[in-house]
Amino acid sequence: MTDHITLEDLLAQETKRNPYAFYAHLREQAPLTYITGFPGVAGGWITTSYEDAIAILKDPRFTKDVQKLFRLEDRPATSTSEENTAIKQIIAWRRDMLTVDPPDHTRLRGLVSKAFTPRMIEQLRPRIQQITDELLDTVQERGAMDLIADFAFPLPITVISEMLGIPTADRQQFRNWTQALITSGEGSQQREGAATAMESFAHYIKTLLVEKRAHPGSDLVSDLIQAEESGDTLNENELISTIFLLIVAGHETTVNLIGTGTLALLQHPAQLRLLQQDATLIPSAVEELLRYTAPVSLSSPRWALEDIPMHGQVIRQGEMVLLSLIAANTDPQQFNEPDELEITRQVNRHLAFGKGIHVCLGAPLARLEGQIAFATLLRRLPALHLAEEPEQLAWNRTPILRGLTSLPVAF
């Protein structure tokens, strides 16, 4: 039996490149595995089965609100106090729907949810299509591009920036900040960089709020300010934290879906041809790419509110639990031939967007962006192919997200 794994095991390029083999081995050895190496955390657990993921996502004995368990000063730590400072700073001010439980979660989610209903998102279709076409217009004559930098990143960041009423010119800065934040687990230098990025990001949002209070518009940030000013529905910290979450979650995961999804299709030419021949398969193809590529490979942490026995182990009160969504989405107990990409898959109850009360609010937007991106890409660039061997591609070094740093293609 595997005693434990480390954060480095999750970050390894081979794990990122071929997670199916890694998690199949882990699942066979132990459905619940101890994991070490996360900065500021003594240790935790990672689950690999679909059934366990569903159970924990719906179990109130696991909290998203770390502040319920212990004051930040008392967090069990394996890193030095200097290194821990950066982690504390990042955790301390995050009070958004992803980091709290009901009733705060219900209140915060309710304030934002109206903007993300399927009906509201569908109204964005013409604009998303326009942005997609403009991005491809820019590169078409060139005959080559970095699919991440030239397409997968600018599409969702432009959409979420416009929804929030944020200048599109600032989008590259968001990319720099979010990249610094999601790689904060690597070393003391990265943790310091993450703390600096967090500070700069928060300062940017505070400045934006001053501007929006003076000149409100018909955008989501202006709507949230009005909610805050109308009573105790949203305090300043929650407002900043919610806007931060919307910017980061509003683009980072979709970048990965488009990037790794395109790579998966190019590596499965029969599936690619099938999709090129029948555009009606786009919706089911996007669902299968969400399952197969796992843009979010690990859930954000949950913490045990009490000792919880599971699979002959005991998850102690205060310990961190991570759900491997990519392992759940390739669990043979749930999916036929789980390691195969099958764009016509009929039964596909994947957990790419989570489940339960914290299910991804932006799922309708991510689906629409993915559908338009893949449909347009395949229609306009029928000769699309990799310009680099798959083994040479670099994957990001963050445990939560699975994505490529670049994807050179030619057409």
Instruction: Please list, in sequence order, all residues whose beta carbon lies within 8 angstroms of the beta carbon of residue 70, skipping any fewer than 6 positions away.
Output: 318
Query: Would you state the pLDDT for residue 84?
Result: 45
Residue closest to 5 by CA, chosen among 47, 55, 51, 40 = 47
Per-residue pLDDT tens for 120-159?
999 999 999 999 999 999 999 999 999 999 999 999 999 9
Query: Would you state the pLDDT for residue 92?
Result: 55
The mean pLDDT of 341-363, rounded to a whole number, is 95
Rounded distance, CA 187 to CA 228, Å? 37
Number of domains in the chain: 1
Instruction: Please list, in sequence order, all residues whose beta carbon lies within 8 angstroms of the beta carbon of residue 218, skipping any fewer than 6 positions away.
Output: 165
Q: What percent of the chain has pLDDT over 70?
A: 91
103 preceded by a cis bond (ω within 30 of 0): yes
Assess whether pLDDT exceeds 70 at residue 85: no
Per-residue pLDDT tens for 42-62?
889 999 999 999 999 999 999
CATH classification of the domain holding 326:
1.10.630.10
Give pTM, 2 decimals: 0.92
Rounded distance, CA 33 to CA 111, Å? 37
The mean pLDDT of 7-25, rounded to a whole number, is 95
CA contacts within 13 A on the Cβ side of 325: 25
Partnered with residue 315 across adjacent β-strands are 308
Q: How confident is residue 233, by pLDDT bands cut at 50, 70 and 90?
A: confident
Lowest mean pLDDT among 33-42, 178-187, 257-266: 178-187
Query: Would you state the pLDDT for residue 70?
Result: 60
Structural domain range at position 396? 4-410
Give the SS3 label for residue 49.
coil
Is the model more confident about 190 or about 330? 330
